[in-house]
A and B are shown apart, each in its own frame.
Chain A
Amino acid sequence: MPPPASAPTVPPDAPAALLEAQGLTKHFPLAGGWLARDHGVLHAVDDVSFAILSGETLGLVGESGCGKSTLGRMLLRLIEPTGGRVLFEGRDILALDARGLREQRRVMQIIFQDPYGALDPRLSVEAIVREPLDVHGVARQEAQRRVAEALDLVGLSRRYLGRFPHEFSGGQRQRIGIARALALRPRFIVCDEPVSALDVSVQAQIVNLLQDLQAELRLTYLFIAHDLAVVKHIADRVAVMYLGKIAEIAAKRALYANPLHPYTQALIAAVPVLRPADRAHGRARRRLVGGEIPSALHPPPGCRFHTRCPHVMPVCREREPRLAEPEPGQFVACHLYPGS
């Protein structure tokens, strides 16, 4: 096995990283426990390293089961990693005790995908948005002020404080969830597919809101999505994951204009284009990659994409490629490029 990629995967002249993941790994043992046999290990995330710069949005894309959501939750320790390190401004989050972790969570928050499941149906809007403040012992008057401030930020009237989640539409619920995440005035937010469950017209409202909030509050985002077009719109840099590994990570412009990894190329080719005239062209391009995504229980040896890759070579089946930097600031894990 190659050593963990030590490259911080950012351009050399970039400002300091706010958050850095080093060799992050999560294996879920599939066991029935006592009296039951082990059923193997799910390799959700395998030895992933990257950095997020202060004030940027790092997009994280990939198909279902690629580990993007697990990765996002490990950064907040909502899922305990099996191995690796997470550094927030140089401090190792995985080494924090319970109290230290609670303090750390003031600055790191998360927004969820499902606007229905993410809000406790029994609590009023006020109770939902105030919960983080209660947990951190913010005094009552101050908490009330901050709840109102958070609602203002997301564009919800304060008159809804006494309302309950079931009275709101999906887009409005998502605003409540964002207000909850903002209540503690965090600096870093993991956005876990925040617009995937919304209708397109509402999706645009939420994407715009997230962009406005970022500019106003100088937030740093990890934006997880399966929709490449949304990520292209909101991200500064983009990481592409496949079966628990980062396949490619680069500045948005480079990644979309000149994708290096065959999987990135396939993903981009698969996105339907809004120009009916280009149909035939698009079809021809995506013919290149067929097949199904292998199970993360038994990831293919060598390069995990080799079972579907149109450029597969003998070495791909044997040796796992490392992240190399064939273009400045563009990292790719593929044997087609020197250094992998």
Chain B
Amino acid sequence: MTLLEVRNVTTAFATGQGEIRAVEDVSFSLDAGEFLGIVGESGSGKSVTALTVMGLLPRPPARVAAGAVLFAGQDLVALPEARLRTVRGPGIAMVFQEPMTSLNPVFTIGEQVIETLRVHERLSPRAQRARAVEMLQKVGIPSPERRLSDYPHQLSGGQRQRVMLAIALACRPRLLIADEPTTALDVTIQAQILDLLMDLRDELGMAILMITHNMGVIAETADRVLVMYAGRVVESAPVDRLFERPAHPYTRGLLDCVPSLAADRPRLVAIPGLQPDPAHRPPGCPYAPRCPIAIAECSRAVPPLDPVAPGHAAACIRADRAA
């Protein structure tokens, strides 16, 4: 069953130099209970995509210039802010990268978990407290009753991210958006949080949309992957397929330049050049200037995201030969 469908969304920002399209013509869908990863480098538009779905971009300067975000059948882009607020929480919840700044330092952990509950559900204070304890327990906070009265600064980075998860999960959302949830954490703590996300998904049956720049994190967690580059989706595939037979040269480049514990390479294969500046994107395929197999035709028109195999699509006119 499709839970979220993003249709041809373009999100633009007004800047001093005119309007910049951070996200261009992005489409994807997410089934209930599915774990979708969006991977890309900084400036690829992955975070803006997530914030567009949440309706959390400040307007102005941002605006959804085209497209629709259908969540359980209703278009979130057209929804007024007041209605959107009822979707956030029980419908879609979000956790962010920075566990240090996402929590308000002057309120206790308990107050902040209960706060979300109070906005969306009518529960007695006792029931609220019980739910808060239950949520903290679910995210693996030891002795949650005692932790309720702690302030954020008394927790480590990993524990704060767990509390953020507890807050996000308090209203039992159907979709959790996680924007680089482990980037600020150490590897051993990152592993714990990723495992926790997987367990919660299985336990609560919610769908997860995870934004990350880390191919390894994707390999460990996602069912399906979107690769973004310069504001566009360049490849979409089931996770096994993506790592075994990447069709887009950018995806292959990304996989080649990540140093790996498993493989011994004498030299990393670097992708030459830089991602194009969003104000001056080249005509045609945005990756063409850096692409090792680009031909003249690549610079003529933006290649459509066409299927290369069942469930696997790539925006590359040379994808046949590439795969």
Contact = CB atoms under 8 A, between A and B. Distances in A.
A and B: bona fide binding partners: yes
B255 interface: yes
A35 interface: no
Contact of B270 (A201, A233, A277): A201
A223 to B, nearest CB: 12
B33 to A, nearest CB: 17
Interface string B274-310: 1100000000000000000000000000000000000
A63 B219 contact: no
A14 interface: no
Given A200-B257, A204-B271, A273 B188 contact: no
A293 B220 CA distance: 23
Interface string A262-284: 00001111111111110100110
Interface in A121-138: none
A267 B188 CA distance: 6
A63 B188 contact: yes
A201 B258 CA distance: 8
B41 A201 contact: yes
Interface stretch (A18-26, A43-51, A158-166, A205-213): A205-213
A94 interface: no
Contact of B262 (A169, A267, A275, A287): A275
B251 to A, nearest CB: 11
B188 A266 contact: yes
Interface stretch (A76-84, A224-232, A313-321): A224-232
B217 interface: yes
Given A63-B188, A200-B213, A286-B195, A274 B262 contact: yes
A314 to B, nearest CB: 23
A232 B159 CA distance: 29
B191 A270 contact: yes
A272 B214 contact: yes
A293 B157 CA distance: 10
Interface in A64-102: 64
B215 A200 contact: yes
A216 interface: no
Interface in B233-265: 239-240, 243, 253-255, 257-262, 265
Interface in A92-115: none
Contacts of A144: none
A254 B240 CA distance: 30
B261 A232 contact: yes
Nearest to B223: A276
B47 to A, nearest CB: 14
Contacts of B270: 201-202, 204-205, 208
A292 interface: yes
Nearest to A63: B186
B14 interface: no
A94 to B, nearest CB: 31
Nearest to A290: B192
Given A233-B268, A274-B262, A275-B243, A226 B215 contact: no
Nearest to A283: B195
B97 interface: no
A63 B191 CA distance: 13
Contact of B260 (A203, A229, A276, A289): A229
B258 A279 contact: no
B267 to A, nearest CB: 6
Nearest to A233: B259
A229 B190 contact: no
A171 B274 contact: yes
B189 interface: yes
Contacts of B239: 276
B152 to A, nearest CB: 15
B188 A256 contact: no
Interface string B135-152: 000000000000000000
Nearest to B158: A292
B188 A270 contact: yes
A199 interface: yes
B269 A226 contact: no
B156 A276 contact: no
Contact of A273 (B219, B254, B269): B219
B106 interface: no
Of listed B191, B192, B243, B260, residue having the most chain A CB within 10 A = B191
Contacts of B191: 269-270, 272, 286
A211 B259 CA distance: 14
Nearest to B156: A292
B29 interface: no
A293 B189 CA distance: 9
B173 to A, nearest CB: 24
B1 interface: no
A202 B239 CA distance: 24
A208 B268 contact: yes
Contacts of A267: 187-188
A189 to B, nearest CB: 19
B2 interface: no
B42 interface: yes
Nearest to A211: B267
A273 B220 contact: yes
A275 B219 contact: yes
Of listed A200, A232, A292, A293, residue having the most chain B CB within 10 A = A200
B216 interface: yes
A227 B216 CA distance: 12
Contacts of A228: 187, 261
A169 B268 contact: no
23 contacts: A63-B186, A201-B253, A205-B272, A207-B268, A227-B259, A229-B258, A229-B260, A266-B188, A270-B188, A272-B190, A272-B191, A272-B194, A272-B220, A273-B219, A273-B260, A274-B243, A275-B243, A275-B262, A276-B220, A283-B198, A286-B188, A292-B158, A293-B186
- 3 closest A-B pairs by beta carbon, nearest first, are A272-B216, A204-B257, A63-B186
